[in-house]
Amino acid sequence: MYTLIIVIGVLSQGASIMPIGVTSQIVGKFKNLDECQMAAKQPHAAGSVADITIVTTWGANWYCTYSGAN
């Protein structure tokens, strides 16, 4: 099994933009790495990540990680 995780960097507002925090969330589980990578490449397509409306820019990254046999 593989888990798709979104990691979002929280940035400050103002003249100098600085990172002030990070948060992450598991958004889906997949049988194999290929399925996980397809979902990460198409976050607005149908499936478990279709309702995520965040714009994936340099402040948001998708990761597929192995989560064990089950």
Residue type, 24: S
Structure tokens at 30: 């997949």
pLDDT digits (tens, 9 = 90+) for 33-63: 998 888 887 755 555 555 554 444 456 778 8
Q: Which residue has the higher pLDDT, 63 or 9?
A: 63
- The answer to pTM > 0.85 is no
- Vertex 19 angle, CA 57 and 21, to 5°: 95
Report domain extents, the chain: 2-66
Average pLDDT value for residue range 5-29: 79
End-to-end CA distance of the chain: 6
Least confident of 2-6, 10-14, 32-36: 10-14
Average pLDDT value for residue range 4-33: 81
3-state DSSP call for residue 64? strand
